[in-house]
Amino acid sequence: MLASLFLIGASLTTPQMSVQAASQTVVEDSDDGMARAVNRMVGGIVSYARWPDGSADSARVMCVVGTPRLTNRMAPDVPGAGSVLVRRLSVAAVTSRGDCDVLFLGRMAIADRRQLIAWVRGRPILTITDDDAACIFGAMFCLSSRAASLSFSVNLDAIGRGPLRIDPRVLNIGRGDGGAS
């Protein structure tokens, strides 16, 4: 009985790279419903990421580049201890300062995005975007809004290239839409 429990647990935590399905968060139908949903989702994603240097509950710096499409009131709601400081920076500032833990990519020029994605590669930086519903441009997490729900997809290749560790359960939830399911 116990062994079977562990087996089931193990199968649950194993990410299945080949299949992708998106999460579906219910968005409350109010003025700041979308803002709350986005902040909750971003906070959740941040809470499931592990930076190689720090502990889970240390404050993280989130640099917002470009114009976020879903909400302008970025204040990620991290469950439990831990918080996120939000800064709005330009592409040049991000690459020169180099103290961002999270990079939120809003709407921006394709060249800038490509430059940032290339710069992030190999660095312990979590990338989230809300301007790439198909999640094909290289950000690790892609938020998208459909009807009255908010969902995110995961780009496993992008996560696999970086030194960040993401809880497999989140990967499981955020399996992208393009799969067989």
Partner 1 sequence: MTGKAPERIGARTTLQKLLSRFHFGITLFAVALSGLTILLAGVTALRGYADRNMELAAQLGAYGVEPALVFNDPQAAREGLEPLTRIPGIARLRVLDDRGQPLTQWASPMADPAPLLTRMFFPRPFAVTVERNGSAIGTIEVWGDSSTLIDYVRIGLLAGLGCLLITALGTIFLARRFEYELVKPLNEIATVAHDVRLHRRFDKRVQPLGIAELDRLGGDINALLDELQGWQGHMESERAMLAHRASHDTLTAMPNRDAFDEQLAMRIAAADARGSRFALLFIDADNFKAANDNFGHAAGDAVLVALSACIKETLREGDFAARIGGDEFIVIVDPIDVETAANDLANRIRACVAQPVELPGGETYRASVSVGAALYPDDGDDATALLTAADAAMYADKLTNRSRV
Instruction: State which of residues 16, 25, 95, 115 lies at the interface with partner 1 (CB under 8 A).
Output: 25
CA 158/CA 18 separation, integer angstroms: 14
The residue among 166, 150, 164, 142 whose CA lies nearest residue 20 is 142
Calculate ∠ Cα 174-88-167, nearest 5°. 25
- Could you say whether residue 59 binds partner 1 (CB under 8 A)? no
List, in order, residues 6 or more apart from 117 with CB less than 8 Å away: 127, 137, 138, 139, 158
Q: Does 1 bind partner 1 (CB under 8 A)?
A: yes
Interaction of residue 26 with partner 1, rule CB under 8 A? yes
Query: How many amino acids of this chain bind partner 1 (CB under 8 A)?
Result: 31
* Residue 83 interacts with partner 1 (CB under 8 A): yes or no: no
The residues pairing with 154 across neighbouring beta strands, listed in sequence order, are 141
Cβ-based nearer residue to partner 1, 112 or 167: 167
The vertex-33 CA angle with 27 and 39, nearest 5°, equals: 90
According to the binding rule CB under 8 A, does residue 52 interact with partner 1? no
144 in contact with partner 1 (CB under 8 A): no
By beta-carbon proximity to partner 1, the closer residue of 115 and 149 is 149
Q: Are 53 and 124 in contact (CB under 8 A)?
A: yes
CB hemisphere CA count around 137 (13 angstroms): 23
Q: Which residue lies nearer to partner 1 by CB, 97 or 169?
A: 169
Residue 124 in contact with partner 1, rule: CB under 8 A: no
Nearest to 103 by CA among 91, 172, 40, 111: 91
From 93, 137, 172, 178, residue interacting with partner 1 (rule: CB under 8 A) = 172
Is 169 a binding residue for partner 1 by CB under 8 A? The answer is yes
Tokens representing residue 159 in the block: 């996560």
Instruction: For residue 2, state whether it binds partner 1 (rule: CB under 8 A).
Output: yes
| Cβ at position 114, least distance to partner 1 in Å | 29
Residue ranges that bind partner 1, judged by CB under 8 A: 1-2, 4-5, 8-9, 11-12, 23-26, 37, 40-41, 44, 47-48, 56-57, 78-82, 152, 167, 169-170, 172-173
